Amino acid sequence: MADEPQQTIDYSQHIPNNVDLANDRALQRALERWQPAFLSWWDETGPSNTSNLEVYLRTAVSVDRDGWANFGYVRMPEYRWGIFLTPRDENRKIHFGDHKNEPAWQDVPGEYRSPLRRIIVTQGDTEPASVEQQRLLGATCPSLYDLRNLFQVNVEEGRHLWAMVYLLHRYFGRDGREEAEALLQRRSGDANNPRILTAFNERTSHWLAYYMFTFFTDRDGKFQLAALAESAFDPLARTTRFMLTEEAHHMFVGESGVARVLQRTCEIMTERNLTDASQVRAQGVIDLETLQRFVNFHCSVTLDLFGSEVSSNAASFYTGGLKGRYGEANIADNHALGTDSYGIQEIEDGALVNRQVPALTALNARLRDDYMREIQAGLDRWNRIPEGFGIPFRMTLPQVGFHRKIGSFAGHHLSPDGRILSKEDWEQQSAGWLPSDKDHEFVGSLMGRVIEPGKFANWIAPPVRGINNLPIEFEYARFN
Ligand SMILES: [Fe+2]
Ligand SMILES: [Fe+2]
């Protein structure tokens, strides 16, 4: 049996890890058989044309809060993916649901085997999916700095797949091994064998979509991981805790990426005294109205990832102790939700109504509301940019019912400001709210590869600072 995770990661092993893999030969052999399959998946669907590239990447060397990251040039296919869990707290107790105050589980209880496997597979499936979605972006990077950030996100999503595959192999026997194989077989956008969740089958076709994706969709990842970090199943809690430290960088890439696009557009608008979107576009920068349509799209498809607002599955995940609330440990209540209620919005007789439902069944809605607060704070930060330029435009989040395919708003038509529309009105007006093919074409037309150190594409401002305190003009990737 593998010992408990150590702070420091053993890189002398074929599979770097801090779970003492060397002392669990059967598991080690199984993972060593999975490893070449992972590498050929990476080869086939990971970042294209990177074999002659050395990228300045961070690699985890310790799961310590402060000391985990080591920076250096890495040849992309030689990145050391591994298995890193935050160390075990021997005294950890389950802190919510029916098993509250019992010791956290070090193994999977039989009664929760199937829902836990489903949770892990669903989370695991998103990780390789986003790598596949972003496969071609390297060819049109706006700078070496951005290219490096893209590949950092990609290798870490690959590592997140390792994190989930470790749990499947270690705790779910033969079923787990089969699921781990299937994770390498599904493909984002494939008609016959797609990724599990819809948002992960859309192609990320240009860098604006990429920044929006990392701001909105990676942040859904953060909230799902945070809820799993509360889990009674201790190995899941410990692995998701470490994944969250990596996720923070992905969201930084998204938030700062959109901020830099906004910055550049506002600079040009002010310098050349422009207000009209077509004039702004003529300068080769992305107009504010188009940015808003991308916010509407990425926000709404990401909200679908939270699932149905009212869900009996979510209730049983909570009472079982499998998945907690966001920040569960810091919530001042009895962590049981017995007779509590929670307010949700839905549509009744053609009108938007507020309804109280049992809090246990509304956990998806609650997680989504927590998420909405955080993205609203991000938009508020973005909005300081036009404000600073004296430009009256402000970005807004669409109402939660806008453009939804899953949950109580599916099948209804709402405007971004929450008016309920007929199907006809929706069809007439929605083109103004969502990115059109023409918008994608325009944004796509701006994309060109910029790889001279310190240079940036015209449509985006340089970042405020470089990576790891290095200058912006540092050579973040080398071709040879
Ligand atoms: Fe991830
Ligand atoms: Fe991520």
Amino acid at 110: G
- What would the DSSP string read from start to end of 297-358? HHHHHHHGGG--SS-HHHHHHHHHTSS--TTGGG--S-S--SS-EEEEEEEETTEEEEEEEE
pTM: 0.96
* pLDDT, tens digit, 9 for 90 and up, residues 345-388: 999 999 999 999 999 999 999 999 999 999 999 999 999 999 99
Q: Give the pLDDT of residue 66.
A: 62
What's the token pair of residue 289? 């109205």
CA of 334 to the centre of ligand 1 (A): 31
The span from the CA of 51 to the CA of 36, in Å, is 17
The span from the CA of 372 to the CA of 303, in Å, is 9
Bridge pairing between strands 53-60 and 477-479: antiparallel
CA dist 31 → 26, 94, 133, 371 (Å): 9, 29, 25, 35
Which residues in the chain land under pLDDT 70? 1-7, 65-68
Q: Give the pLDDT of residue 1.
A: 43
CA of 120 to the centre of ligand 1 (A): 12
What's the token pair of residue 121? 């597979």
The DSSP 8-state label assigned to residue 214 in this structure reads I
CA of 124 to the centre of ligand 1 (A): 8
The span from the CA of 245 to the CA of 200, in Å, is 22
Q: Give the pLDDT of residue 2.
A: 46
Q: C-alpha 153: how far from its chain's center?
A: 10
Q: Give the pLDDT of residue 64.
A: 72
Q: In this structure, which ligand is nearest to the CA of 247? A: 2
CA of 283 to the centre of ligand 1 (A): 36
Torsion of CA 393, 394, 399, 402, to 10 degrees: 50
CA of 253 to the centre of ligand 2 (A): 10
* pLDDT, tens digit, 9 for 90 and up, residues 74-83: 998 899 999 9
Q: Give the pLDDT of residue 4.
A: 52
Q: 415: how many CB neighbours lie within 10 A of its CB?
A: 19
Q: At what angle do helices 113-133 and 234-271 cross, to 10 degrees?
A: 30
Classified as helix, coil or strand, 57 is strand
Closest CA to 144 of 454, 371, 380, 433: 454
